[in-house]
Every structure is written in structure tokens, then in C-alpha cells.
Amino acid sequence: MPPEDRSAFRLLGHHPGRYIDVQEAGALLGRGATEAEDVLERLVDVSLLEAREPGAYAFHDLVRHFARRLGQSEPATGDTEAVERLLDHYLARAENAGDTLFPGRARYSGPSGGPAGGLPEFGSRDAALKWLDQHRDSLLAAVDMAQSHGLLRHAGRLPRELGFHSSIRSYDLEANVALEAGVGAARTLADPALTRLNLTNLAMGQWRLGHIREAVARLEDALDISRSMNDARSAAECKARLGQAYNSLGELGHALRLSEEANRTARATGFARLDGSSLSTMSHVRARLGQFAEAAAAARQALAVFDSIGEIQLSVDALAYLSRALEGTGRLEEALARADEAVERCEQLRGPGGPPPAARDPTATRRGTPHRRPCW
């Protein structure tokens, strides 16, 4: 093989996943997409790569193992830079996809920021979800790769996107491992904002698995960090998630107080997503307290907020809570209509060809708590 293709083959051995798309190859090789595709096609011609679909390639298992051994046994100048380029690509695309899927979420802008521009935006939420579905395993492996290369910025920031994606696709065991690594990386970076963010997302992954007490402990740690930063907005996020956790534990008075505090701060700071999510939890808690009229009013307000920012996932919860509140007031036909609407929106969440999201929290049979809730 020409030296150029030999070098490219060895660099591609650093790819962490099973499938390689043209953009990933371009990032590793430091080339544009067209030039990278030419290299990939030459490797296909000599049977070192397989073309799976337009723009996507894969190593045979044995060839991939050989390529990785080459990368480990024959390290070359520039390998770490190539890995960093790939991780920059993953971070930019994953954050772009998360912003598309979860409108109004807070953007991370802490000291461990880095290159995140230059890539096209996703044209639709279906396209963003498809990209995350296709790259999930590579992103999980990329967190390990970032740690092994000492690239703590990526090890600290990539797990957040995995947590968000898992809130739809329900692979919290794997995502939580990455989030644990993210907490460690953020602490090593001495980045309290990123530490708080990863602790909160890890807590929500634990909550979805039914580990409520562990989730509360993580959220209390995150709240302490927010207070140490004098960051009222992130403290309100922690309170909102604590309200959700205490609701699952049946401590309804505590849950309601925390949700109300979070809602006041959200409105004062113009944080629409938090405004809606705290209203939604307030609706659920009030329905459990038998305050059905107040629960219905809160759910309607939450639904209006979510619809105004194009947020589908959280609107499903708001519709479910509204249905329950209406049932409590005896308005059964209207309750059924809202439940049907929630089901329709659930179908939108799945995306074309996607697996169904988990329907309930493991504690739902005794507490009635919806399972799905995105991270922060």
C-alpha cells in the first residue's frame, strides 16, 4: 500500500466504534469529507474496509483488531491530535443533536469549553435522534478513549449527551458509567459547573433505574456546588430534580416546596424549560394530594410552556398529569382525550425505526411516577 494509505489505515484503528462515517474519518485523518471518502474507498478496494451504506464503512472484526494493534504497537507523532480531533467532532455533533432534541436546555459554557463549530446543524429532531442512535456505542467508547488519552475536557462533557439520549432510549446502566467518569473528569479539571451538571444527570439516570436514595444524595451534592458558586439558576435545577425524587419517595410536602421554589427562580430568570418541568412536577404532586383542580391548572401551564419551545418529551408528562387531574375532577372524556394525545406524542419521541422508550419508572406500580424525564 502507498505510505499515505498505510498511515490512514493505522489512524482509523483509533476509531472507538464498529462503524465509521465519512465525517468521523475526516476528523481522524485531518482531511475534508471528500478526501477522506476517497481514502476509505481505496481501503475498500483492497478489502481492508467494508462499505455498508452511502457514507458509512466498517472493519471486519479481525481487521479492526489488527488496525488497533498497529495503533498501539506503532504509535506515531500526531496520534493524540488525531484522537482529539475525533473527540471534538463527537462533542460538537452530540451537543448539536442534544440541543435539537431538547429545546431550551441550558448550554454549558464553563472553562473546559473547546472547539464546537464548523459542522452543519441537524435539520430535524428525527435526524438528530438517528445520529445519536447510530453513534451511541461509539460515544460510550469515546468516553473511555478520552480518559485513556488524558483528554479530560471530552471525558467530562460527552457523558451529558449520553444521559440526555438515554432519557429517550433507556440505556441508563451504560450511560451512568460514563457519567461517573464525567464527574471524575470534571473534578480533576476543577470545574464546579461541569461537576454539578454531571452529578445532576447521573442522579436522573439513577432515578430512572429506581435508585431514588442514591439520586437524592447526588442531587444534594450538586445543590451544594451550585450554592458555592452562588448560581441561583443551577440551584433551582437541582431543587426541581430533588422535588421529583422526593415525590417518588412519597414525601409530597417536601417535593411540593422544592418544586415551587424552583419554579419561582425559573420564572424570575426566564428559564422556560425549568418553568415547565417544575410546574409539571407540581401538578403530579398536587394530584397525589387530591388537589385535582390545582393539579390541572399547573399541568395546563406546563403544557403551554413546552409547546411554546417545541419540547415534546416533557409535554408527554404534562399531558399525562393533566389527564390524571381531569379524571380526579370527574371529567373523564376530557381526561381520555389528553391521554390519547400523550400516546400520540410518545410515538413522535420514538422516531422512525427506533426502539420504544421505557414506559414507567420502576417504582410506578406503587407510586404512579412516570419513568421518562430528560436530564439537565
Q: What is the pLDDT along the chain (376 residues), one digit of tens a residue?
A: 899 999 999 999 999 998 999 999 999 999 999 999 999 999 999 999 999 888 889 999 999 999 988 877 777 778 899 999 999 999 999 999 999 999 999 888 776 655 545 677 898 999 999 999 999 999 999 999 999 999 999 999 999 999 999 999 999 999 999 999 999 999 999 999 999 999 999 999 999 999 999 999 999 999 999 999 999 999 999 999 999 999 999 999 999 999 999 999 999 999 999 999 999 999 999 999 999 999 999 999 999 999 999 999 999 999 999 999 999 999 999 999 999 999 999 888 775 444 433 333 333 433 333 344 443 4
3-class SS of residue 21:
strand
What is the Cα–Cα distance from 171 to 119, expressed in whole angstroms?
27
pLDDT of 123 reads: 87
pLDDT of 74 reads: 72
Torsion angle in degrees (nearest 10) through CA of 187, 236, 90, 151: -10
Q: DSSP letter at 118?
A: S
Torsion angle in degrees (nearest 10) through CA of 211, 185, 146, 54: 50
pLDDT digits (tens, 9 = 90+) for 341-357: 999 998 887 754 444 33
pLDDT of 112 reads: 60
pLDDT of 114 reads: 54
| Residue 48 near residue 39, CB atoms below 8 Å | no
| Residue 267 near residue 301, CB atoms below 8 Å | no
Q: Is the dihedral of CA 342, 346, 349, 351 positive or negative?
A: negative
3-class SS of residue 14:
coil
Helix (H) or strand (E) segment spanning residue 201: helix 192-208
Position of cell 413522535? Answer: 348
pLDDT digits (tens, 9 = 90+) for 74-125: 777 788 999 999 999 999 999 999 999 999 998 887 766 555 456 778 989 9
| Residue 244 near residue 282, CB atoms below 8 Å | no
What is the Cα–Cα distance from 83 to 330, expressed in whole angstroms?
60
Contacts 24+ apart (CB under 8 A), 62-68: 64/13, 64/18, 66/13, 67/9, 67/10, 67/12, 67/13, 68/13, 68/14
pTM reported for the whole predicted model: 0.88
Torsion angle in degrees (nearest 10) through CA of 166, 320, 289, 364: -50
> How far from 288 is each of 171, 253, 261, 326, 365, CA to CA, in Å?
29, 11, 19, 13, 14
What is the Cα–Cα distance from 176 to 365, expressed in whole angstroms?
24
pLDDT of 89 reads: 95
- Count, in order, helices (H) and strands (E) of the chain: 17, 3
Q: What angle do CA 104, 250, 206 make, to 5 degrees?
A: 55
pLDDT of 110 reads: 73
What is the Cα–Cα distance from 247 to 286, expressed in whole angstroms?
10
Our measurement of the distance from residue 354's CA atom to the centroid of its chain's CA atoms, rounded to an integer in Å, reads: 16
Query: How would DSSP label each residue in 100-148?
Result: HHSTTPPPP-STT-----SSPPPSSHHHHHHHHHHHHHHHHHHHHHHHH
Cross-strand bridge partners of residue 53: 56
What is the Cα–Cα distance from 236 to 142, expressed in whole angstroms?
31
Query: How would DSSP label each residue in 179-200?
Result: HHHHHHHHHHTT-HHHHHHHHH
Position of cell 406524542? Answer: 345
Q: How many CB atoms lie within 10 A of CB 42?
A: 17
